[in-house]
Amino acid sequence: MDENLQKKYIPMTETTYYTLLAVTEPRHGYAIMQYVRELTKGRIVLGTGTLYTMAGRLVADGIIEAVPNDEGRKAYRITGTGDGLLKMETQRLRRQLEDGESVLRQGGH
């Protein structure tokens, strides 16, 4: 894994994290926005400008790739590099959550 990409993407923004979760299978832009909104129960709503700006950056960095889909629309899919970053970030978040829960269980504020 490229160390510069790790520094650039870890820690990950919520929008990037959820977008990468969305493209673990190929999805076009609108489907990504729907998936993220449904997964987060409306907590995160991606706008088209935000999504396409981020998608362009992720494609340029080799984190996701554009692929054709059955509907003739451009879809996006996570790459091996992106999958590695997504797993690293999930592990980082898991450790952070465990640390927080541990401290809160002990009553430390």
Q: Cα 94 vs. chain centroid, distance in angstroms?
A: 15
pLDDT, tens digit, 9 for 90 and up, residues 18-61: 999 999 999 999 999 999 999 999 999 999 999 999 999 999 99
Mean pLDDT, the chain, rounded, equals 95
- 108 pLDDT band, cuts 50/70/90, is low
Task: Quote the CA–CA distance of 49 and 87 in Å, as a whole number.
Answer: 26
**SS3 call for 34:** helix
pLDDT, tens digit, 9 for 90 and up, residues 49-93: 999 999 999 999 999 999 987 777 899 999 999 999 999 999 999
Phi, psi of 27 (to 5 degrees): -145, 145
Domains of the chain, each with CATH number or no CATH: 3-105 (1.10.10.10)
44 Rama sector, left if φ>0, alpha if ψ -120 to 50, beta otherwise? beta
Contact criterion met (CB below 8 Å) for 63 and 5: yes
